[in-house]
Structure 1
Amino acid sequence: MSQQVETGLVLASYHTFWLSERIDDVPASGRRPSNGLVVPHMGAVEIWTGTHTGNVPVTVETRDDVPTTDDMSDWDDVVEVDVESVHGNLLVTSLFAHLPKELPNLAFHGAGLYRMRFYARGRDSDPTYDTRAPDEHHRVISWPVLSRTQEAVLKRTDEYGTILRAQASH
Structure 2
Amino acid sequence: MTQWTFVDTDHHQFVVGTRDADTLSVRQSGALLEVGPGFANVLTGTAYGPVEVELGVLASEPDTGEVAEWEVVEEAPLRVDSSAYILKMDGDQVEGFSAIPPGRYRIRAHARGRDSGWDRQVTVPVEQHMIWVWPDKSRRGLRQLKKIDNAWDESAQDLNPDLGTVVFIDPDGTVRKVDPTSDEVRQAHAARVLWDGREPSEKLRTRHISQNVSRIDRRLLDVFESADVEKLDEITAWSVRRACERAGIDHIDWVTELLTLVDAEVNLEGRFSGSLYDKLWGDKRIVRRIRHGRHLHPDFVEQDQAIATLNSTMYDDPLERALQTLAKTLGTYGLDYEELVEQFLEHFGPGLPA
TM-score normalised by length of structure 1: 0.83
Name the CA distance, whole Å, in 2 between partners of 1:106 and 1:135: 26
Name the CA distance, whole Å, in 1 between partners of 2:54 and 2:153: 23
Name the CA distance, whole Å, in 1 between partners of 2:57 and 2:72: 20
Name the CA distance, whole Å, in 1 between partners of 2:58 and 2:145: 19
| Cα 1:21–1:128 shift into 2, 3 Å | closer
Name the CA distance, whole Å, in 1 between partners of 2:75 and 2:8: 22
| Cα 1:28–1:21 shift into 2, 3 Å | closer
Name the CA distance, whole Å, in 1 between partners of 2:30 and 2:124: 20
Residues 86-105 of structure 1 mapped to structure 2, 5 A cutoff: 86-87=81-82, 89-105=83-99
**SS of equivalent to 1:56:** strand
| Cα 1:128–1:39 shift into 2, 3 Å | closer
| Runs of 4+ more than 4 Å apart | 167-170
The amino acid that maps onto 1:51 is T
Name the CA distance, whole Å, in 1 between partners of 2:50 and 2:119: 17
Unpaired runs of at least 5, structure 2: 162-354
Largest Rg, 1 or 2: 2
Q: Give the aligned partner of residue 32 of structure 2.
A: 37
Q: Give the aligned partner of residue 304 of structure 2.
A: none
The answer to whether structure 1 residue 8 and structure 2 residue 5 are counterparts is yes
**Mean alpha-carbon deviation: is it higher for 121-130 or for 134-143?**
121-130
The amino acid that maps onto 2:89 is L
Residues 9-158 of structure 1 mapped to structure 2, 5 A cutoff: 9-22=6-19, 27-29=22-24, 34-87=29-82, 89-107=83-101, 111-127=102-118, 129-131=120-122, 134-158=125-149
The amino acid that maps onto 2:73 is V
Name the CA distance, whole Å, in 1 between partners of 2:121 and 2:134: 34
Q: Which has the higher strand share?
A: 1
Q: Once the two structures are aligned, what percentage of the paired residues are identical?
A: 24
**What's the CA shift string for 1:92-132, capped at 9, x where partnerless?**
0111233222112233xxx2210110111100014473336
Shift of 1:166: 2.2
| Cα 1:28–1:59 shift into 2, 3 Å | closer
Greater relative CO, 1 or 2 (CA 8 Å, sep 6+): 1
The amino acid that maps onto 1:164 is S
| Cα 1:30–1:75 shift into 2, 3 Å | same
Name the CA distance, whole Å, in 2 between partners of 1:27 and 1:129: 26
Shift of 1:62: 0.8
Q: Which has the higher helix share?
A: 2
| Cα 1:167–1:135 shift into 2, 3 Å | farther
Contact 2:73 2:110 in 1 (8 A): yes
| Cα 1:169–1:136 shift into 2, 3 Å | farther
TM-score normalised by length of structure 2: 0.42
The amino acid that maps onto 2:11 is Y
Count of matched residue pairs: 161
| Cα 1:73–1:129 shift into 2, 3 Å | same
| Cα 1:30–1:163 shift into 2, 3 Å | farther
Name the CA distance, whole Å, in 2 between partners of 1:10 and 1:124: 18
Residues 154-165 of structure 1 mapped to structure 2, 5 A cutoff: 154-165=145-156
The amino acid that maps onto 2:66 is D
Contact 1:51 1:132 in 2 (8 A): no
